[in-house]
Every structure is written in structure tokens, then in C-alpha cells.
Chains A and B, each alone.
Chain A
Amino acid sequence: MTESIAGLEHQFETLEQQHEAGWLGMWAFLATEIMFFGGMFTGYVIYRWAYFGAFAAGSKDLEIWAGTLNTLVLICSSFTMVLAVHAAETGERRGQIGFLLATMFLGTVFLGVKGYEWTTLFRDHHVPGIGFHFSGPYQNTAQIFFSFYFALTGMHALHMVVGVGLLTFLLVKAWRAEFTPAHHAAVDIIGLYWHFVDIVWIFLFPLLYLVDRHR
């Protein structure tokens, strides 16, 4: 009887079918995410082209060490996520818990550094709005740079928060030893999401911090 298979939802015939649906579902969801960020990336590139000087000045105003540190932190978190998936495949409960905690820790460090950067920008009146101030010739167009900076990093940070939430969900399941070599699709699928959020940052970092910094 199919009903006796643990973890099989009623609409599926087999666990393989269920895993395939979940896996494909996450890929399709990530396609929607690419389109979501894509609209803002396009706008950023167009305005960067139109107001090169202002955007270069805005870029130089960001803390390069914070961006670099965060890039390293996120790459490491992707590595620990892969190790967590591996531990799920082999069914090692302690490995799962350890690597999930490490990934969550790195994600939280990222958010902390990002929060520090935002506070600095707030202190310097670089948050768009009525109080915005940018010395030099670029008062208006630098505000467009910082608008995109906050919209893009804000949306990215929101995805990180959701990611840490999903990892917490995985951690509870790992704690209860629910992942077996045959049944651990959730770790795979959420891992995919985590890597995607990392990749978004891999594109954001050079676009926001690095372009034209060498001058």
C-alpha cells in the first residue's frame, strides 16, 4: 500500500515523484526571483550608464571592507550549506545540526555587517528621502544611486532573513532526526534557495561596490 510510505503526501504516487515536484518547484520559484531582481538590476545598470559620475561617487562612499567581508562570509555559508546537504544524504544527524548552525551563524553575521553599513549611511544622511545630503555636484543623482542601493540590498537582506527562518525549520527537523538518506528533499530544496540568495549577492557586490573604484 502506498499510504504506508513515511512522508508521502496524498497527491503523489511515489517519494521520487514528490521530490522531483519539490525540486522543480524551487527551480521555477528561483526563476521568478531572477525576474524580480532583474527589473531592479536593469534599472540600476541604465542609471549607472546615464549618471556615471554620481554612481562612481556613490560607490566610493560605501565601505569596501564591509562588502568584501560579507562576500567571504556568504561564500563560506554556501560551503557549510553544501556540507549540511551532504550530512543529510549520509544521514549523520550531528553533522546536519552542526553545519546548519554554522550556516545560520554566517547568515546572521552577514545581516549584522549589513546593518552596521546601513547605520553608517543613515548617520551620514545618505538614506534617500527629505534628509538626504551628498556633498559635491551630485546631490540629486547620487540619491538615485542610494535608492537602488537600499532597494537592492534591502530586498536581498529580506531574502536572507527568510533563508535563516527556513534553516531554523530544517534545524528543528534535523534535531528530531527526521532526515534519512531516502528522505531529505527539504534540505536539498532549501539549500538551493540559500545558494540562490548568495549568487544574488555575488552580482550585487561588484555592481554596487567595485565598478570604477580603481580610479
Chain B
Amino acid sequence: MSMVQTAPSYLEDGHGLASWLLTRDHKRIALLYLVSIIGFFFLGAIFAGLIRVNLLSPQGDLVRPQTYNTFFTMHGLIMIFFFLIPSIPAVLGNFVLPLMIGARDLAFPKINLLSWYIFIVGGLFTISAGLFGGVDTGWTFYTPFSSIYSNSNVVLTVIGIFIVGFSSILTGLNFIITTHTMRASGMTWFRLPLFIWALYATSLIMVLGTPVLATTLVLVALERVFHLGIFDPSRGGDPIYFQHLFWFYSHPAVYIMILPSLGVMSETITCFARRRIFGYNAIAFSSLGIAVIGFLVWGHHMFVSGQSVYVGMMFSLLSFLVAIPSAIKVFNWMATLYGGTIAFDTPMLYSLGFIGLFTVGGLTGLYLAAMGVDIHVHDTYFVVAHFHYIMVGGAVMGFMAGLHYWWPKITGRLYPEVWGRLAAIITFLGFNLTFFPQFILGYLGMPRRYHMYPPEFQALNVLSSAGASILGIGYLLPVIYLLWSLRRGQVAGPNPWRATGLEWQTPSPPPTANFEAPPVVREEPYSYPTWEAQID
């Protein structure tokens, strides 16, 4: 018997199907989530592709208007609830949060597994609604269309979204409690990696926002089935009550999607610039600031709904305030990059792309927060372009950056760097070609959610559809080379990026218990060599 017995990695610890489906290991659950959300991503992407093909010609030749309605609804529902919201938290957060704080697992491993099953059940409900005739309300379920007039599968879809909300609540709850109670010795709050701060802020929104969505959906379903009249103006109800409840969750939900990406940036930028983070406290508190202010701005979705103009002015002002913590982050990353030794590895390319696209998305958000401008571009492609810059250019780029950054830790193998960089560049170019024309289209007056448009808009629409096909290649490439790297990739070793952080101090892939001995933290995060030391 040898004296030094290394524990098997989490991938080697059990091989059968049951060892995966009944696992309580946060790392395996993260992989279950990874496989499922990638499936949902490509399902949502197929709907996006069909939308873009239909919009190649002004008269919308591919499908009938009603089918088109179900396409953009399914695209929105799947991408938001089954990809973007769980993407970084449930996959990357699940995998690295316990590793980063030096814990053996999340505080509630069984609840973690339960959240995945809930996610799958919610997904099956929503997909079955899509199969049995689809749903045509848009992802926003606006009443009274959803509660009275729509002839599509609203109730089944609403049940699916209601169910999947609980997986999000349970994940958020688990992260909050784990961060409070499971930190390793010496891991004080202000030694936490900024990714953890971002996940913490995200979890607060998940825990406090998602239940309100549940209330809203319960009321919509009851209204539709029992004709209660709560949202029906002809019987004294008020559809605006629905909009308030819906956006009270769904605006903060935007920050559920983007905050984790902002967290990933702080990890990758420090690592690939070899620099200590500039303004740690400012970035940490700006995450919490975004979470708090994000709860107070929902009315900016309702400037044309008939809400009081004075209420609109308050919401407009508060929406402008969100730009401050967002800008604090961007400026601090710039300051971190300044004078750094920047390496353009794949995660860094995605991260730099992220900063540019997030800035464009954020600044156009200020256009929309201004009430006068919003009335001009409300419900046009300008809005569509704006939120795709945040959600695809921001959240998905951040997810790709994080996935590449932690891929060697997750699998123990390096992805092929050349292909990675190529995919990052293709994604960036394809993305801009797809969505930048939509800003112009929207400003010129093309409304969203229409299956046809006036002929003068065709050139820009064709440009956008062409960009979407390039973007599609940018997303398919990583699937191919990441799968290839599982067997053929170069063995990574514990710390291929020479990064700081506890997750890099354990073998890749980590053993089931994460660390061979409970780690002790003695220094601040991001203790990369100082600028002066690098010059010497």
C-alpha cells in the first residue's frame, strides 16, 4: 500500500448512469446542467434561425403569421428561462463556487440535485406546450391577451415557467447559504473572488424576485381557467396590475442574466492581464448596487402603458442610476488592464469582446430609459438590438469566457487554443453583423414581433440574417472542439493559466471532496505580481 494515496477525480468516482442521475456532487450537477442548457440553447437557436430566415423577405415567406408568433415566443421563453438564467449560475457557479471558497460542496447538495430535476420537469412542460400547438403570447404573457383571447397553449407553458422558477430559487438559496456558512478558514468576505460577490448579488435577485413571477403566473393561469376578472378590464380588473407584477420580476431577471457575466470578467481580466484587480471594493459593492437598484426600475418597460407620467419620471431617473454601478465596473476593468501584460487567450478575447458589447448595450439602455426617446423606439427593433447586446453580447459572451477559462479545471484537458480564438472572433463579428443593423431598423421604425415589413427595410434585414448564420458557426465551433478536447486535448495540470484562487490549487479535475485537506486562506484575491515587479 502506497503512503500517498490520491483520491480519484470526481469524474472517476462512479461510472454508471445512476452515479450521475443520483449524484449529490456539485461538480457533477454542474455538468448535468451544462448538457441540458446547451440542448436548450440550440433549441432556442433553431427558433432564432427560423425567425431570421422568415425575415429575409419583406412579405415573410417561410411561415404563416400565427406560426411566426409561436416561433418568437418559444425563442424568448427557452433562451431566457432555460438558458440565460441558469447558464452561468447553475453551471459555472455550481462548479466553482464551493471550490473558490474552499468548501467540500454546497450547503444543501440534495436540494442542488432537486433543482436540476425541477429544471428538467419545467422544461418538459414548456416544450410539450410548444409541441401541442405552441404558444403565441410572447415571453411576456401580457394580459388580457394571454388570459382571454389567445387560443394557444398558455396554461401548459405558464405551468412550465412556474416550475422552472423554483429551480432558480433553490439555486440562489443554496449559493447564499453556502457563501455565508461554508467559507474556508481565512476566507473573509473581502477576500472572496469577485465572481462570488456577483453570484451572491444574483442569488439575492433569484430569491426575492422569482416568487413574484410565481404569483403572477398563478394568477394568469387561474384567470384563464376560472375567468376571475382580476386582469379583465370589462369586469373591473386591471391589466396594468399584471404588467407591474411581471416586470417586478422580469426586469431584475435581466440582472440575473448579466451579473454573473460581470463576475466572470473580474476573474479573466485579472488573470490574463496578470494584474491585481483595480477597485476590489467598488466592484463588489457595484454588484450589490445593481441588484438593489435593479428592483426599482421595472416601470421603464411601461412608459406607454398608461401609467402616471410622474411615476414614469421616477422610473426613468432610477433607470439612469443603474448605469453608475455598471460604469464603475467597466472603468475598474479598464484600470486593471492599464499597464497589464495582456495575453490574448480565448477567455480574454471573449472578455474584451464582452466589455465592448456590454458597453454598447448599456449605453443604448440609457436611450430607452429616457421617456421621450422610448416613445419613439418603444417595441421596435431598437429594443430588440439593445437587449441582445446585453444578453447575447453580454451574458453569452461572459458564459463562453467562463466556460473556456474553467474548462481545464472541469475536464482536466485544454481546448485547442487556435480554434478557441477563431471561434471568439467569429462570434464577435457575427454578433455585430446580426444585431447592429437592428438598431438602425428600429430607429427607422420597424416594429418587433411582426412577421413582415416594408420593402425598404430588406437590405438591413438580409444583413442581419447573414450575420446570424456567421454567429451560428461561432457557436457550433466550440461544441466541436470542446468535445474533441475531452479525449484529445492536452492534459491541463492543476493551474494552466497560473491563476490565483483556491480552485486552481487542487488537481484538475478535482477529487470528489474538492481538496485533500481543508484549505487556509492567507492573502487577498488576485495577488498577481505588481506592475512594478513585472517591469523589473
Contact = CB atoms under 8 A, between A and B. Distances in A.
Interface in B107-121: 107-109
Interface string A118-141: 000000000011100000000011
A39 B229 contact: no
A33 B103 CA distance: 28
B180 interface: yes
B304 interface: no
B529 interface: no
Interface in A14-72: 17, 20-21, 24-25, 28-29, 31-33, 35-40, 42-43, 46-47, 50-51, 54
Given A11-B109, A17-B182, A24-B180, A31 B208 contact: yes
B208 A32 contact: yes
Given A43-B241, A129-B227, A28 B215 contact: no
Contact of B245 (A20, A28, A43, A148): A43
A41 to B, nearest CB: 10
A47 B237 CA distance: 8
B107 A36 contact: no
Interface in B221-265: 222, 226-230, 235-238, 241, 245, 248
Interface string B163-183: 000000100010011101110
A32 B211 contact: yes
B177 A21 contact: yes
A13 B212 CA distance: 35
Contacts of A42: 245
B215 A39 contact: yes
Given A13-B518, A32-B211, A143-B235, A128 B176 contact: no
A172 interface: no
Interface in B179-211: 180-182, 207-211
A143 B182 contact: no
Given A28-B176, A143-B235, A11 B210 contact: no
Contacts of A84: none
Contacts of B207: 28, 31-32
B228 A35 contact: no
A10 B106 CA distance: 11
A51 B236 contact: yes
Contacts of B230: 43, 47, 144, 147-148
B214 interface: yes
A52 to B, nearest CB: 12
B105 interface: yes
Contacts of B181: 17, 20-21, 24
Contact of B215 (A40, A47, A144, A147): A40
B229 A11 contact: no
B463 interface: no
Interface in B385-414: none
A211 interface: no
A113 interface: no
Interface string B435-466: 00000000000000000000000000000000
Interface in B85-105: 103-105
Contacts of A17: 181-182
Given A128-B228, A144-B237, A11 B212 contact: no
B228 A144 contact: yes
A175 B269 CA distance: 57
B270 interface: no
B509 to A, nearest CB: 18
A17 B518 CA distance: 15
Contact of B236 (A32, A144, A148): A144
B153 interface: no
A36 B211 contact: yes
Given A39-B212, A43-B241, A151 B173 contact: no
B227 A32 contact: no
B177 A140 contact: no
A11 B215 contact: no
B235 to A, nearest CB: 4
B216 interface: yes
B514 to A, nearest CB: 10
B218 interface: yes
Contacts of B176: 24, 28
B115 to A, nearest CB: 13
A143 B181 CA distance: 47
Given A17-B182, A21-B182, A43-B241, A128 B229 contact: yes
B363 interface: no
Nearest to B248: A39
Given A24-B177, A35-B209, A130 B227 contact: yes
A122 to B, nearest CB: 13
B208 A128 contact: no
B415 to A, nearest CB: 30
B470 interface: no
9 contacts: A10-B105, A33-B211, A35-B211, A36-B211, A128-B229, A129-B226, A141-B236, A147-B226, A147-B230
Interface of B: 103-109, 169, 173, 176-178, 180-182, 207-212, 214-216, 218-219, 222, 226-230, 235-238, 241, 245, 248, 518
Given A21-B177, A39-B212, 18 more contacts: A11-B103, A11-B106, A13-B518, A21-B107, A21-B178, A21-B180, A24-B177, A24-B180, A32-B207, A35-B212, A47-B241, A54-B236, A128-B228, A129-B228, A140-B235, A147-B229, A148-B230, A155-B218
Q: Which 4 A-B pairs rank lowest in CB-CB distance, beginning with the nearest?
A: A39-B215, A36-B211, A147-B228, A11-B105
